[in-house]
Structure 1
Amino acid sequence: MTVATAPLTAEHIPLAVQRYDRWFSRARRPPSQRSWLADGPVRGDELVGRLHAVPGLEACRALDGDGNLIGYLAAHPVTLAPDDPASLRTHPRSALVPYGGHALPGGRETEVLRSLYAKVAERLVADRRLVHYVHVPAGEIATAPWADLGFGRELVHGLMAVKARGRQPRGVEGLGIRRAGPGDLPQVGRMAAESSRRQRESAMFQPQPEGALAALRLHYADALVDPRCGAWIASRRGEEIAMVLVVPATPDPVTPESCVELAEAYVEPSARGEGVSRVLLATALAWAYDNGHRYISARWHSASPLAAGHWPAVGFRPVGYRLSRVLDARIGGAPGSY
């Protein structure tokens, strides 16, 4: 069944905010996860209002038989320079439905989303944006309608509570850990770039342009002088073998206040499996707790043979996903060629 659609304009924002807050209260997380984490700030009015001001936004609303708004969908273009470190994780010419970018009515999620996406995607494809992303909270209510349209879980957003020092991980023989500073940018940058470069491998197959990797080597210069950030390097027998770097997290519907983000973590292949990562993480968690943070977040590729098993094993639990759909590049060819 086709749902009636119409453009979403500024006058519809108040109703869209109401729809978003109602939908998100149902979709935030499964009941089994609501007891162990604080909720992030929803702020539907801020999210939806800010989104509508983004240049190039493609947005439409779904209507019931009386012409009332029952759902909406809004996607904005993403355009990144080849040497932007953000292009290491995101297609440089894509489109994103962020938090606040859609809301669906209960019981008709897939039906309504299908009609909305058909309208919005048509315009995105006409602009040659063939990679589509959407941010959703964890849980079937949020993910199932998108899965019905061919979207899959590409990135996982995990969260872990930061607690007072308890039982610490077993030490690693001969391992030394020191706080990294501005003079350690070459080492931190090298390991960050090496970690990212490995995303080219199976089963992630993420292009990692050399220009963006070069920029990543310098990307954390400000973080290494910022007292709100923390970085540590692990060494053994005079060789630097691992590092971890945390930065303040931006609160959003699945990220609470007083949260830091695990921006980078790397262990040399020859030192993996010994517990180095756990020791570094424990060091970062102790610093985070002492500085007033009560949560730590991390993001990893769902197809990563290492990260997808490691981060949940050390305590991170999924609170959100970035779903993606990649359209066949032949779609831009001559009519009838696909």
Structure 2
Amino acid sequence: MTVAIAPLTTEHIPLAVQRYDRWFARARRPPSQRSWLADGPVRGEDLLGRLHRTPGVEAVSALDGDGGLIGHLAAVPVDLAPDDPAALRAHPRSALVPHGGHALPAGRESEVLRALYVRVAERLVADRRLAHYVDVPAGDVGTAPWSDLGFGRDRVHGLMAVKARGRQPRGVEGLAIRRAGPGDLPQIGRMAAESARRQRGTATFQPQPETALAALRVHYAAALADSRCGAWIASRRGEEIGMVLLVPARPDPVVPESSVELVEMYVDTAFRGEGISRVLLATALAWAYDAGHRYMAAQWPSASPHAAGHLPAIGFRPVAYRLARTLDHRLTGPAGTF
């Protein structure tokens, strides 16, 4: 069966919403693996409505032989300034297929996605956007068609339930935990920048530009002054050696409304392995529960030697991935230079 590719227009949106909601329900992990999770509150109508209005969006639809819509793909441009902390986690000139940005028919996922991506990728390359990202729910249904196109897991989105205080981790000798406030911005900023700087090494190899690291040092000023956020610093004999920082999470299809996000957690290398991060997290979880949060979200590089093993070990379960594909820079040169 042939697949025709056409622009995704306003009249396609209602059917695209139905297709997305149906695809998303199928793409999420089986109920037996996610019974502890609540569904996120955001669905196709809200996602596609906002996405279609985004300036510069590249959006196409897949039509069957009768002209019926069977899938869609929409990528938004991403342009990050050198001093934007977001440039620590993504290429400064890239494109993202966010949640809601694609839906595929059962049994023809790879075939239809290939036809859609060929059209969209051609336009992205012409616009010199060679780093492509896509947000997908965890599980083979969401990831396998993209893997066929050369995409790999770049970042993991995890979620854990926030419960009433249970068994607390064993205390660490000489460790003191205190709540951080606006006056602690230098310490929080220093540790956040040091944590990010380590992503330059194996196996993540993320550039981590100094201008973005400098901006990260003051990035959390508003969070430290906001009562909806929580931050704590761990000290031993007067030396500040770790911290944790939580902010309200933005709801999406895999993150429920009653969620808080773990945006930073750091322990100095010399003190790792003693259980300090578990004490910090237990303190943060107790505060989150008392504040009415029932889920905690976190993101980490899939290749991180520390986070990729540590965060799942302390209770975070993958609910989504950001997949990535970086094309050869020679594609933007004269024809035939590849």
- Fold conserved between structures, TM > 0.5: yes
Map of 1:136 onto structure 2:
136
Aligned match of 1:300: 300
Q: Quote the Cα distance in structure 2 between the aligned partners of 1:251 and 1:336.
A: 45
Counterpart residue type for residue 53 of structure 2? A
Q: Distance in 1 between matches of 2:303 and 2:34?
A: 26
Q: What TM-score do the two structures reach when normalised by structure 1?
A: 0.99
Q: Is the 8 A contact 1:79 1:93 kept in 2?
A: yes
**1:58 counterpart letter in structure 2:** E
Matched residue type, 2:162: V
Does residue 44 of structure 1 match 2:77?
A: no
Structure 2 residue identity aligned to 1:17: V
CA contact (8 A) 2:159 2:319 kept: yes
Q: Determine what percentage of the aligned residue pairs are the same residue.
A: 79
Q: Distance in 2 between matches of 1:83 and 1:288?
A: 31
For structure 1, the 5+ residue unaligned runs are none
SS at match of 2:250: coil
| 2:96 aligned partner | 96
Map 1:200-279 onto structure 2 (within 5 A): 200-279=200-279
* Deviates most, 87-96 or 37-46: 37-46
Code of the residue aligned with 1:153 in structure 2: it is: R
Give how far 1:34 is off. 2.4
- Asked whether the 8 Å contact 1:288–1:294 carries over to 2, the reply is yes
Per the TM alignment, residue 15 of structure 1 is displaced from its structure 2 partner at its CA by 1.0
Q: 1:12 offset after TM fit, Å? A: 1.0
Q: How far off is 1:106 after superposition?
A: 0.4
Cross-structure match for 1:290: 290
Q: Which residue number in structure 2 is paired with residue 310 of structure 1? A: 310
Counterpart CA distance in 2 for 1:292 and 1:42 is 20
Aligned partners of 1:266, 1:111: CA distance in 2, in Å? 43
Asked if 2 retains the 8 angstrom alpha-carbon contact of 1:57 and 1:75, the reply is yes
Instruction: Say if 1:2 and 1:115, in contact at 8 Å, map to a contact too.
Output: no
**Displacement, 1:17?**
0.6
CA drift at 1:327 = 0.4
Deviation at 1:208, TM superposition (A): 0.5
2:55 corresponds to: 55
Q: Distance in 2 between matches of 1:31 and 1:4?
A: 34
The 2-side partners of 1:3 and 1:132 are apart by 23
Native 8 Å contact 1:21 1:42 kept in 2: no
Q: Residue type of the partner of 1:249?
A: A
- Contact 2:2-2:65 within 8 A present in 1 as well: no
For 1:329, the equivalent position in structure 2 comes to 329
RMSD over equivalenced CA pairs, Å: 0.8
Deviations 1:192-243 (A, max 9, x none): 0000000001000001111111100000000001000000000001100000
Q: CA deviation at 1:30?
A: 2.7
Provide, for residues 284-312 of structure 1, a one-character-per-residue CA deviation record: whole Å limited to 9, x for no partner.
Answer: 00000001000001101110000000000
SS in structure 2 at match of 1:71: strand
Q: Deviations over 1:164-190 (max 9, x none)?
A: 000001110000000000000000000
Maintained 8 Å contact 1:73/1:117: yes
1:259–1:296 contact (8 Å) kept in structure 2 = yes
What corresponds to 2:195 in structure 1?
195
Contact 2:245-2:264 within 8 A present in 1 as well? yes
- What is the aligned length? 338
* Alpha-carbon distance between aligned partners in 2 of 1:165 and 1:244, rounded to the nearest angstrom: 18
Q: How does 1:26-175 map to 2 (within 5 A)?
A: 26-175=26-175
Q: Secondary structure at the match of 1:218?
A: helix
2: distance between equivalents of 1:121 and 1:153? 19
Distance 1:4 1:22 in 2: 21
For 2:223 and 2:153, locate their aligned partners in 1 and report how far apart those are by CA, in whole Å.
Answer: 30
List per-residue Cα deviations over 1:28-75 (Å, max 9, x = no partner): 223332211111113211100100000001010001110100000000
After TM superposition, give the deviation of residue 2 of structure 1 in Å.
5.5
Q: Which runs of 5+ in 2 are unaligned?
A: none
- What is the aligned partner in structure 2 of residue 185 from structure 1? 185
**2:137 aligned partner, one-letter code:** P
- The answer on whether the counterparts of 2:2 and 2:64 sit within 8 Å (CA) in structure 1 is no
